[in-house]
Amino acid sequence: MIAKRLCIIGVGLIGGSLARAVRAAGECEHIIGCGRNEASLQTAQKLGVIDSYSTDAATAVADADVVVLAVPVGAIGSVLTQIRDALAEHAVVTDVGSSKGSVVDAVKAVYSDIPVFFVPGHPIAGTEQSGVEASFAELFQQRRVILTPVAQTDVGALEQVTQLWQCAGAQVSTMSPEHHDAVLAATSHLPHMLAFALVELLNQRDDSDEIFDYAAGGFRDFTRIASSDPVMWRDICLANADALLELVDDYTQGLSRLADMLRNGDADGLLKTFEQSKQARDRFIG
Ligand code: NAP
């Protein structure tokens, strides 16, 4: 058994899905949930996602073998401050935040250095939905989870968190927090910025109702992630601003090059760009 007592702080889409998956795998005896809103914790208990709950983080982590911080990245520092003196001596703590450099900084601000029992992590899985009602046990099946241990991270703690994700069906890899943030800025954070920007651009137009009326599959596909939780994505973008800004600049330049091709009627240039892009995406999907 990976954890007798598992504590999930933030029983939403990710925390709820992990709780469901670990329970389905029979890898813990008791799951205690924690959050600010008692009604949603009651819902989580009714749905069988958690066995018990507390709105007090220090109470929730007492005696827990593994503590998972599944709150927005902007809240990790304050949650750590609340649980700091209440953790069991043997407890392993991990998080699921979508940016890792900022989490490492938040942990350092509370502990002065990353404690050996803290294993930063990020499941590369999710949906545009939020809340425990949207959670499901299969969310992490065949999906990647990146752990970003630091030099002093305890090998046993890393192994325990690896097993936690593996029992949820995920493939676990490790990399540095900096490398994680560069990779995820490109594959996740930039696409979210673009989706939010496009929808907002069209939303500001006088004829936006008509435009949205005629929007079809392509628009839906491209903008699905603009339905994601704004608070969560504000936190992620701010937390990974440096890596993201570099990519926004690159993207802006790429768009300018396409605009020049349009202005100059450069059919060959457009075709070449579109062909290269299609080949790359077909390869990725394949
Ligand atoms: P979610 O469904 O909104 O769940 C977040 C949970 O955190 C809620 O249950 C909320 O409950 C709790 N919470 C929020 N602020 C809190 C605070 N200040 N203190 C304590 N609890 C707090 O969000 P999610 O999609 O699961 O995202 C959670 C984390 O997973 C984020 O760090 C995100 O970066 C990461 N992540 C998300 C995805 C994705 O696609 N959604 C993918 C990978 C990783 P209360 O309101 O009751 O407090």
Task: Answer yes or no: is the C-beta of 11 below 6 A from any ligand 1 atom.
Answer: yes
Predicted pLDDT at 200: 97
Task: Answer yes or no: is the C-beta of 128 below 6 A from any ligand 1 atom.
Answer: no
Predicted pLDDT at 9: 98
Q: Nearest C-alpha to atom 40 of ligand 1 is from which residue?
A: 126
Predicted pLDDT at 88: 97
What confidence category does residue 211 fall into, taking pLDDT thresholds of 50, 70 and 90? confident
Task: Determine the Cα–Cα distance for residues 197 and 193; give it in Å rounded to an integer.
Answer: 6
pLDDT digits (tens, 9 = 90+) for 63-80: 999 999 999 999 999 999
Predicted pLDDT at 57: 98
pLDDT digits (tens, 9 = 90+) for 84-132: 999 999 999 999 999 999 999 999 999 989 999 999 999 999 898 999 9
Question: Per-residue pLDDT for 184 more than 90?
Answer: yes
Tell me the residue type at 261: M
SS3 content of the chain, % helix, strand, coil (to 5): 55, 15, 30
Predicted pLDDT at 259: 98
Q: Which of 7, 11, 13, 69 to mutate to test the pocket of ligand 1 (most atoms within 8 A of CB)?
A: 13
Q: Which helix (H) or strand (E) holds 121?
A: strand 121-124
pLDDT digits (tens, 9 = 90+) for 152-170: 999 999 999 999 999 999 9
Q: What is the CATH number of domain 179-285?
A: 1.10.3660.10
Task: Answer yes or no: is the C-beta of 75 below 6 A from any ligand 1 atom.
Answer: yes
Residue 179 main-chain phi, psi, to 5 deg: -65, -40
Can you tell me the mean pLDDT for 217-227?
Answer: 93
Predicted pLDDT at 251: 98
Give me the residue spans of the domains in the chain: 3-175, 179-285
Per the prediction, the chain carries an average pLDDT of 96
Q: Are 119 and 165 in contact (CB under 8 A)?
A: no
Task: Answer yes or no: is the C-beta of 232 below 6 A from any ligand 1 atom.
Answer: yes
Ligand 1 midpoint to CA 132 (Å): 10
pLDDT digits (tens, 9 = 90+) for 2-47: 999 999 999 999 999 999 999 999 999 999 999 999 999 999 999 9
Question: Per-residue pLDDT for 214 more than 90?
Answer: no
**179-285 shares the fold of 3-175:** no
Can you tell me the mean pLDDT for 218-226?
Answer: 93
Task: Answer yes or no: is the C-beta of 73 below 6 A from any ligand 1 atom.
Answer: yes
Tell me the residue type at 121: G
Question: Per-residue pLDDT for 213 more than 90?
Answer: no
Which residues have CB under 8 Å from 19's CB, separation 6+?
A: 6, 8, 11, 31, 33, 44, 49, 50, 135
Task: Answer yes or no: is the C-beta of 15 below 6 A from any ligand 1 atom.
Answer: yes
Question: Per-residue pLDDT for 223 more than 90?
Answer: yes
Q: Which of 71, 128, 148 to mutate to test the pocket of ligand 1 (most atoms within 8 A of CB)?
A: 71
Predicted pLDDT at 128: 87
Task: Answer yes or no: is the C-beta of 123 below 6 A from any ligand 1 atom.
Answer: yes
Task: Answer yes or no: is the C-beta of 120 below 6 A from any ligand 1 atom.
Answer: no
Of 3.40.720.10, 3.60.40.10, 2.60.40.290, 3.40.50.720, the CATH number of 3-175 is 3.40.50.720
Q: Nearest C-alpha to atom 18 of ligand 1 is from which residue?
A: 75
Predicted pLDDT at 241: 95
